[in-house]
Amino acid sequence: MEERGQRSNRRLVLVPCPFQGHITPMLNLGSLLHSEGFSIVIAHTNFNHPDPSGFPNFTFASIPDCLPKDVLSSGDAAAIFASLNTNCRGPLRQVLSDMMAKDGATENKISCVIYETLMYCAEAAAHYMKLPSMALRTSSISTQLVFSELPRLQKEGYFPSKDRSSKDPVPGAYPLRCKDLPFFTTDLEPMMQLIATILDIRTSSAILWNTADCLEQQLSDQLQKQYSVPFISLGPLHKVAPASSTSILEEETDCLLWLDKQANDSVIYVSLGSLASMDEGEFAETAWGLANSGQPFLWVVRPGSVRGSEWIELLPGGFKEAIQETGRLVRWAPQKDVLAHRAVGGFWTHCGWNSTLESISEGVPMICRPCFMDQNVNARYLCHVWRVGLELEGDLDQKEIEQAVRRLMVEEEGKEMRLRAVAFKDQIELSIRKGGSSHAAMEELVNLIISL
């Protein structure tokens, strides 16, 4: 086999999708492949571009994305991804062509283009330039499995769910109930078209997954039957190849000093990720539910995530005074460090796939409050299959929040969830060590790239 030291003339062009939950796993993958000796180029959009300062060993090439402001502010995911892919295809081809021209007769060459599946234009650009490509999926295999079933479920009348609270089982989609099916906040047909596009990986040579066999092996075997290319489950990538900060927003790291002062497993960490939002009423119920639970809490209120306000102006009167001793609010946290902190004993999460993996990897059980897209699917797996989470259902109500926090943080039920979460943490640690499944997957990937 080719020695690691001989690989630096093999260049891998990585194309992330420009949103936080997608950029992080791609940069982690870059770090992993760089540690295996490859040269890494990140071809990124100007919009939400990653900070190159944390990655001195990577080359960064910008693709002018020309993402129109009105499309971006519409919040219409299908329109945003359609526009991104249409606008980036030509410039990306140009970036590849310029690199190849520069390489000329030298030893250097692009070995592969690895793109996040939402940036499917990269596959087309690579194919046009006669370069091999691979797809990285940054959501769970369970999500992709249900995505592949959506056309059938739509025909059979189960999707979109007429009753978003229905607990009726969905035929052929165990363990999902109607309420667990993906929820889209925009028009259905363009979303169905987008899903069909990302499910079809066309000429790509493999699908890389940010997941681990101890979580999703059975689902991987099931979905693999629909594809002729290998599935390579490398995750959790943030554990396999921790990168320096991949955050687009500035992290308020001093919250870690506040955590240092709290007792072990006592703090509930609350965050809805980089996209979800709530209204003023939900914000007030959350505030009082947390305050009245009596548990210390660290709450991320991302600027703009409370509709109609800049940051925390809509906090109810008397709240700040009530939580002086117990609570801490931040705009954006160093989430992975927070979850790894000994003081954090629970995570109230929107169940984005990165947050899900980051919490399980640290043995932290969860209160699951999914908002849209794949989050409902992840929440169902967390609560019903892996049994490391409890679901907070219906309209947000301070009494129910208070109870959910106590169930997770204090009661027997929560302690059992924590034990199961810690067991997963141990399994994940084994899977990324030599001899583990994610480690073996990394070796498979390296060999595959060399063979292309």
Closer by beta carbon to ligand UDP, 300 or else 382 = 300
37 binds ligand UDP per the rule CB under 6 A: no
Q: Let me know how long the chain is.
A: 452
**Element holding 135 (H helix, E strand):** strand 133-137
User: Measured from the CB of residue 212, what is the shortest distance to ligand UDP in angstroms?
Assistant: 16
Window 228 to 257, contacts with ligand UDP (CB under 6 A) = 247
**Cα(14)–Cα(116) distance, integer angstroms:** 8
Q: Report 326-355 residues binding ligand UDP (CB under 6 A).
A: 332-333, 335-336, 352-355
Choose the binding region for ligand UDP from 29-37, 67-75, 270-278, 420-428 (rule: CB under 6 A). 270-278
Determine the interface stretch with ligand UDP among 20-28, 38-46, 260-268, 438-446 (rule: CB under 6 A).
20-28
CA 169/CA 189 separation, integer angstroms: 24
220 DSSP 8-state letter: H
Residue 290: C-alpha distances to residues 39, 215, 285, 286, 414 (Å): 47, 30, 8, 6, 17
Shortest distance, CB of residue 244 to ligand UDP, whole angstroms?
13
β-pair partners for 209: 137, 233
Give which of 145, 139, 184, 136 is closest to 354, Cα–Cα: 139
Taking residue 402's Cβ as centre, other Cβ atoms within 10 Å add up to: 18
Which residues neighbour 52 within 8 Å (Cβ) at sequence distance 6 or greater? 42, 58, 60
Complex with ligand UDP: residue 377 or 446, whichever CB lies closer: 377
Peptide bond into 160 cis (omega under 30): yes
In whole angstroms, how close is the CB of 373 to ligand UDP at the nearest point?
A: 8
Tokens matching residue 381: 């797996």
**Judged by CB under 6 A, which of 11, 24, 301, 377 binds ligand UDP?**
24
Q: Which of 275, 314, 340, 423 binds ligand UDP (CB under 6 A)?
A: 275
Among 373, 361, 302, 365, smallest CA distance to 28 is for: 361
Nearest residue (CB) to ligand UDP, 7 versus 336: 336
d(CA 319, CA 124): 53
Smaller CB distance to ligand UDP: residue 21 or 54? 21
Each residue 358-377 as x (binds ligand UDP by CB under 6 A) or -, in order, gives: x-------------------
Q: Does residue 21 bind ligand UDP (CB under 6 A)?
A: yes
Judged by CB under 6 A, the residue of 18, 91, 132, 273 near ligand UDP is 273
How is residue 139 written in tokens? Answer: 């959501």
Is the CB of 100 or the CB of 275 nearer to ligand UDP?
A: 275
Tell me if residue 37 falls in helix, strand or coil: coil
Determine, following the binding rule CB under 6 A, whether residue 271 of this chain makes contact with ligand UDP: yes
Q: Three-class SS of residue 6?
A: helix
Task: Name the 3-class secondary structure at 304.
Answer: coil
Between the CA atoms of 48, 53, 58 and 60, what dihedral angle is there, to the nearest 10 degrees?
40
Q: How far is CA 77 from the centre of its chain?
A: 16
8-state DSSP, 180: G
Q: Helices 437-451 and 20-35 sit at what angle, rounded to 10 degrees?
A: 70
What is the smallest separation between the CB atom of 21 and ligand UDP, expressed in angstroms?
2
Closest approach of ligand UDP to the CB of residue 138, in Å: 7
Number of residues in contact with ligand UDP under rule CB under 6 A? 18
Give me the least distance between CB of 272 and ligand UDP, in Å please. 8
Nearer to ligand UDP, 354 or 376 (CB): 354
Torsion sign across C-alpha atoms 307, 311, 313, 315: positive
300 near ligand UDP, rule: CB under 6 A: yes
Could you tell me the smallest distance in angstroms from the CB atom of residue 115 to ligand UDP?
A: 17
Residue 135: CB minimum distance to ligand UDP, A: 18
**Least distance (Å) from ligand UDP to the CB of residue 93?**
28
Give 111 or 356: the residue with its C-beta nearer to ligand UDP: 356
Q: Which stretch binds ligand UDP (CB under 6 A): 18-26, 161-169, 190-198, 223-231?
A: 18-26
Q: Are strands 39-45 and 59-63 parallel, antiparallel or unpaired?
A: parallel
Rank residues 153 and 195 by Cβ distance to ligand UDP and give the closer one: 195
Q: Pairing state of beta strands 207-209 and 327-330?
A: unpaired
Q: Does 211 bind ligand UDP (CB under 6 A)?
A: no
Measured from the CB atom, is 65 or 251 closer to ligand UDP? 251
Q: Residues interacting with ligand UDP, by CB under 6 A?
A: 20-21, 24, 247, 271, 273-275, 300, 332-333, 335-336, 352-355, 358
